[in-house]
Chain A
Amino acid sequence: MDLTFTPAEEEFRAELRSWLGAHIPQEWTHPGFWESLEDSESFRLRRDWERDKADAGFAGIQWPVEYGGRGGTPGMKAIYDEETVRAQAPRTVNPLGLTFLAPTVMAIGTDAQKKEIIGPLLRNEVVWCQGFSEPGAGSDLAALSTKGVRDGDDFVVNGQKVWTTNAVHGDKIFTMVRTEAGSEKHRGISMLLIDMDQPGVTARPLRQMSGASEFGEVFFDDARVPAADCLGEIGDGWRTAMLLLSFERGASGISQYTEFRRQYDEIAAVARRLGRADDPVIRDDLARVLTELECLRLHSMHVLTQVEQGRDLGFEASMTKLQWSEAFQDLWEVYDRILGEDATLDALPDGTDLRPLHAQAMWSRSVTIWGGSSQVQRNVTAERVLGLPR
């Protein structure tokens, strides 16, 4: 048992912490600051900040140096995740590109794809969307119906994607397209990298229950994409997608814990201010959530250990998703119980603005759906980890 990081990793932490301290304006950390901005303004600030961060050498922490990354250890990536959350740095504008696309391109991309995609991703010059979900295919990804028909060196794409994060701001989309007419389920699908700034691609914001429009829908009407922009083999997109999704695991649990723990402390402070911290039911509720959050922290140390040892976590990633998403949702349920009949008000009678907290509470309803719903994760855990029959 050794819960410490190496001296080099701690040195990295100090360097990062000092940079973050100097480059995150105080006002950014005020509750509700980001919610108070226009969507496009918030996007611009975050994008600029990330470019500066990349210029300072704090992007691609674990990416190989040959791709412009820092060549750091899994421990450094965990420290990066933890410290950026602790400093209340803005969330990345390019989560899907950075987490999923970049490592997949490094693993199976062509030389041209590596050259074209990775550097701009590192500096967040190109923002990527993920085009997996469709109105008729959410958790059942293999039921997708967007079609690509070969026409010379191009595919001509028709169909619709939905719940696409950053749809309106995205520059490119990595998307699952059925490229073999009449194929079924997992077969005959390709992963195409499509330029969104072209005739035939339309993106529309989708307003969520929180009021924000982080998601959108994307329509393809005879959109053209060169066949050379297929990631992995043509028709073998399912395998590419599975590889891509496997990069979700890793040490992000530590940053989630840091974020959720801060929210727990905020919620506990609200309970104290409202005189609810003495209520034994509320205390039991809060302690139950804290127990699950502490378990999340320990589980992320376990995951980091496995990653550092080079072990493949495989389907155990479903357990991580279940643990954090259910605990996070429970945290905000408890928050509602603390507020009682005032839970839905914009502000408390004493003037406390509740809207930034509501944004989190609403967001918590989504986390057990996207990225594989809790029900899907339970099936995966039961069948792939416990070996129960299908």
Chain B
Amino acid sequence: MFFALTSDQQEFGAAVRDYLAERFDLAAVRTVVENPSDDGNPASLWRAAGEQGWTAVTVDEEHDGLGLGLVEAQVIARALGAGVAPGPWRGTVLAADAIRLAGSDEQKAAWLPKLAAGEAVGAFTTRGSAATGLPVVEYGALADVVVAPAEDGLPGLALITGATASPVGSYDGTTRLASLDGGTAEALPGTTVELQKQLTDRATVLVAADLVGIAREALTRTVAYDRERTQFGVPVGSFQALKHALADLHVGVTMAEHAALYAAHAVDTGLDGAELAVAVAKAKSSDVALQATAAMIQFHGGIGYTWEHEAHFFYKRAKRLAGQYGDVAVSRERIASLTIGA
């Protein structure tokens, strides 16, 4: 039995976290948040994503990737979530996954090496279709290639290039969204219903892992603050009302970490119950990230509600991601249908 990250996997996450701490801290995130009209993809950060293999993680070695699994990808996602890092990393990885798993040899050769190197930006969505338009796509305006359903309500995925992008506003300033129309759509020939589900599962796990990173970091920052901040002559962290809430959050975040890790492994290896594992990971991580980021604001007191404090970066990103690929209620309904029937 070995249910844990290997030291290599831990180092992968640590490298991302170290990079963000040293080269792209919350002050840098703030410049992205406060300049909503720029593309939201700082060049230095994106270059690092390519150079350090963050975008190459699941691409096979034959196409210049690292050939690793969703477990490693979720390690990166968790670290990026902890840093509330902007950029089209997730969409790029997911587009590459779709092409790797369902693309023709020509499509693979054309896109995978570029996506792996961060020379091309990818995007992935399950909302809308190539036929009718895509209402909300993360980094849709920057994407060189978008993977989306080919037609509304029908199985099948398309590769879309050259679409027209219009910005979509969001109070989560750590990302950029766009709606997309037109462009050229070509089918991903290897798409099956099963594969399409699996790609949605992969996307869901990466979002869950981002949420887990957000939740852990929100909790860690709150604990650090409450150890120091004094009221009534003592650190506020000595008050039982805070202690108990923070202890419950610690348990919750730890469980969400387990859940995201297990879901990634289950999808990677096609375990029985992978579908349930993904739904559990999404339900738990959404729930706990919303709680932890709300607590971050509450337990920083008035300063936590200000624009100057970074708590809102975490809270707003958690809000957006908690709703993606099924919010808490939708994820739980999926769990119910899997365990007690329709």
Question: Which residues of A come within 8 Å of B, CB atoms?
Answer: 1-5, 75, 78, 264, 268, 271-272, 277, 280, 283-284, 286-288, 290-292, 294-295, 298-299, 301-302, 304-306, 308, 319, 322-323, 375, 377-379, 381-383, 385-390
Contacts and interface: CB of A to CB of B under 8 A. Distances in A.
A301 B250 contact: no
A378 B243 CA distance: 7
Contact of B254 (A283, A290, A299, A306): A299
Contacts of A78: 1
Nearest to A321: B251
Contacts of B165: none
Given A3-B265, A323-B251, A386-B247, A302 B3 contact: yes
Interface in B252-302: 254-256, 258-259, 261-262, 265, 276-277, 280, 283-284
Most buried by A among B6, B262, B336: B336
A382 B247 contact: yes
Most buried by A among B258, B283, B340: B340
A-B complex: 8 closest residue pairs judged by Cβ atoms = A287-B332, A382-B243, A295-B255, A301-B3, A283-B336, A298-B258, A381-B247, A287-B335
Given A308-B1, A375-B244, A388 B237 contact: yes
Contacts of B329: 284
Sort chain B's interface into a size bin: 35 or more
Contact of B223 (A287, A301, A377, A388): A388
Contacts of B2: 1-3, 305, 308
A319 B250 contact: yes
B37 interface: no
A272 B261 CA distance: 32
Given A1-B265, A287-B283, A382-B247, 11 more contacts: A268-B339, A283-B336, A284-B329, A294-B259, A299-B254, A375-B244, A379-B243, A382-B243, A387-B227, A389-B234, A390-B238
B260 to A, nearest CB: 10
A389 B237 contact: yes
25 contacts: A3-B3, A272-B341, A283-B332, A287-B336, A291-B283, A291-B284, A291-B335, A294-B259, A295-B284, A301-B3, A302-B4, A304-B3, A322-B247, A323-B251, A378-B247, A379-B243, A381-B250, A382-B250, A386-B223, A386-B247, A387-B223, A388-B227, A388-B238, A388-B242, A389-B235
Given A283-B332, A295-B255, A389-B237, A301 B1 contact: yes
Contacts of A286: 336, 339-340
B226 interface: yes
Given A295-B284, A390-B238, A382 B335 contact: no
A378 B265 CA distance: 30
A148 to B, nearest CB: 34
Contacts of B331: 287
B300 to A, nearest CB: 15
B231 interface: no
A4 B6 CA distance: 16
Contacts of B35: none
B286 to A, nearest CB: 11
A291 B276 CA distance: 9
Contacts of A387: 223, 227
Contact of B1 (A5, A271, A284): A5
